[in-house]
Amino acid sequence: MHRWRYQAINGVAVVVIMALAVAGRPTAVYVFGDSILDVGNNNHLPGAGVPRADHPYYGVDFPGGARPTGRWSNGYNLADLVAMAMGFKRSPPAYLRLVVRGLRGVNYASAGAGILDSTFAGTNIPLSKQVRNFGVTRAQMVTNLGATTANDLLSKSLFLIAIGTNDMAAFAATQQQQQQSGDVAAFYSSLISNYSATITELYGMGARKLGVVNVGQIGCAPLERAQSPTGACAAGTNALAAGFDDALRSLLERLVSGDDQQQHCLRGLAYSLGDLYGLMQTTITDPGAAGLSNVDDACCGGGGLSGCLPNSTLCGDRRRYLFWDYGHPTQRGAEIIASAFYDGPARFTTPVNLKQLVSAVAVYTTYNQLATMGCLNNVGLVTLLVVAVASNNAAAEVPAVYVLGDSTVDVGNNNYLPGDFPRADHPYYGVDFPGGGRPTGRWSNGYNLADFVVGFRRSPPAYLSLTGASSKSRRRHIREGLGGNPGKYIPLSQQLRYFGATRAEMVATLGASAATELLSSSLFLISIGTNDIGVFVAAQRQQISSSSPTTRPRPASSPPLTCPASSPTTPPPSLLAIVNVGMIGCAPWARLQSPTGECAAAANELAGGFNAALLRFLVESSSRLRGLGYSVGDLHGLMQATMASPSPAGFGLRNVDSACCGGGRLGAQSGCWPNSTTLCVDRRRYLFWDSSGHPTQRAAQIIASAFYDGQAQFTAPVNFKHLVLRSA
């Protein structure tokens, strides 16, 4: 165990960070849900109406004999593959199969089960009963191990939950039979209330790590497509599932962060939410990218609505089909899902993937004024999640993250500046932020780039919010006096002075040696330069309009940059994660200058020239500053690629030119304000949040994923993940 202690700048709040070592894999896996996870519980239920996968051709590809096992698949299912990805040789056994000790985990899932007890009642084990069964397992563990050991084991275990599909199907079927539109809001409320009670009950019995899977595009299952003469997906059923998924995501966010009254917060709870809906949508749109050729039909089935029976017709290549029967994935489909949720692209999991969740390091931070960071008890204890990067079972921890830059990483410093400053302190900023949809100072509808890159439950707090751990603001310049509005921001030079004050307090508390060691293994995230380019372009445009002589800038001939000499007494920070300047000429405000909405080529060229000079400078600096490591995230290149292929088959976006929150043409003729704004319908499909060009929460997630552990084309010389591994 490692401990670092230092005193915050105001001399009042004391931070204590304890990085707790976690084993290479979770102690056990406990599984709850429906047929996507069931490994045979229904085989042990009495009654003719119980749905069972106990006959061919179920299990035709299952290892060790090609026999039906109760899994609704031709082989392994999602529960098996997630468990094996985490290092287990096999999936936890079915609860009803035999008496199990529970030390490796237990599978309680039941085909046909719902969140509501009334869903297909009498033919399955509903979620509430599954949780009670877990209670029996836990009681046995406490008897055998003692309460302390049992609780410790459970706190490190993964609780995997996938349920809700049958509730949607039952509700939709009832509406169709009655030929009426039911109260969907009341239906969602009932589901979320039961889901919340389930999680709270599991938490009370020791659960701390939840792997939750939302409801997929059930309207695209063969059973639903068969209802359409053209084989099209059932849009209404998909919409029902999507609405529930939104409510589920909000519930999880509230449970870990608390609502505005700091109620219903489960301290220490961490989760990963797998977006099965989004993954299915992407896979169905571009099946070839996942190695599939058929995403419409059941591999095992017959005409009409017949199921998978011994007399069914099997497809030729089972690894090319998404669906095994009328609604369950093939083993190959389950592999695609498990891979995406365990350690796949960040676009399909939030806030972390399963691998990051099970490798998590608990960090406890004590502040007496940190109410905005999460759930507080009477003494101000906040539990945050820090993701440890694992390599060959050795976790590499970053003790701290220091963030400097502009509005792409500002988490609220400008809110504390007096006078007329640019602030994101009004709606609709923060409309999707967890814990009430409130403006936080982030220039986004929710989280921003700093939040996602840092990997904390939240970013380090704004420096000016409590004179503490992070310094950044919206409007600032690399060079003071570069025009603009002096005094309307905290320039980079002042941010560095704030950091100097932080460092001085650390030295006074820890001693110079310990403080230097901590800082040398900390990550310094820097994103700045956009405003300098913007101000320069605006000045050039103004000179042209006033007929003043001007020369178009030539980025290729930028002046040489001088590398600082290293100092033996002031070692440089070892880990720099730097984001270059994006294609600012493609922001909505820049496109608005063109009658056709085209990007401003000159602004993009200027940014490109600066980026090239920045990279040269870093290469030269790293050769002179011993021990300096850096990673440059190519925001310019990533934006170019995103705009070239924004669709779900590319980055999951549909609109890359307009502001989601704005008014008029391209959403850029007015700012993001409650009285002059039209919000876009699907905020997860937009690249830009406002007219200034700030990314939406979804776009920030794409950017962070690309820079942290994405393709090599968007980072140089290494990605952020490899940079962090240097501190191991």
Gap between the Cα atoms of 76 and 86, Å rounded? 15
Residue 511 to residue 431: CA distance in whole angstroms:
43
H-type helices in 323-390, by residue range?
331-343, 354-358
Instruction: Give dist(CA 466, CA 10) in Å, integer.
Output: 7
CA distance to 374, 429, 484, 558, per residue, from 412 (Å): 16, 12, 20, 33
| Interhelix angle 235-257/165-178, nearest 10 degrees | 140
566 tagged catalytic: no
DSSP annotation of 571: P
The residue count for the chain: 728
Q: Secondary structure of 487-505 in the HEC alphabet? A: CCCCCHHHHHHHHHHHHHH
Report how far residue 146's alpha carbon sits from residue 151's, in angstroms, rounded to the nearest whole number: 9
CB burial of residue 123 (10 Å; 0-12, 13-18, 19+):
middle
- How many CB atoms neighbour CB 203 within 10 A? 17
* Distance in angstroms (rounded) separating the CA atoms of residues 328 and 340: 17
- Within 10 angstroms of residue 611's Cβ, the number of other Cβ atoms is 21
Q: Which helix (H) or strand (E) holds 355?
A: helix 354-358
Can you tell me the distance from the alpha carbon of 457 to that of 461, in angstroms, rounded to the nearest whole number?
Answer: 11
3-state secondary structure of 68: coil
Active site residue 264: no
Dihedral, CA of residue 637, residue 639, residue 645 and residue 651, to nearest 10: 110
Which residues on neighbouring strands pair with residue 633, listed in sequence order?
579, 715
Q: Are 444 and 700 in contact (CB under 8 A)?
A: yes
Contact 331, 75 (CB under 8 A): yes
Distance of alpha carbon 33 from alpha carbon 643, whole angstroms: 39
343 given a catalytic annotation: no
- Asked if 192 and 251 touch (Cβ cutoff 8 Å), the reply is yes
The SS3 of residue 646 is coil
605 three-class SS: helix
Q: Which of 263, 249, 147 is nearest to 206 (CA)?
A: 147
Q: Which two tokens stand for residue 212?
A: 């939750």
Which residue in the list 35, 157, 527, 691 is annotated as catalytic?
35
In whole angstroms, give the CA distance from residue 640 to residue 692.
Answer: 17
Which residue in the list 328, 477, 636, 694 is annotated as catalytic? 328
Which of 38, 275, 325, 634 is the catalytic position?
325
- Transcribe 230-285 into DSSP letters: T----HHHHHHHHHHHHHHHHHHHHHHH--TT--S--TT-EEEEE-HHHHHHHHHH
Which residues in 367-502 belong to E strands, given as ranges?
381-387, 389-391, 394-396, 401-405
710 neighbors 719 (Cβ within 8 angstroms): yes
Distances (CA, A) of 480 to 139, 475, 484: 65, 11, 10
Distance CA 270, CA 362 (A): 10
Cβ–Cβ < 8 Å for 413, 535 = no
Angstrom distance (rounded) from CA 248 to CA 246:
5
Catalogue the active-site residues.
35, 325, 328
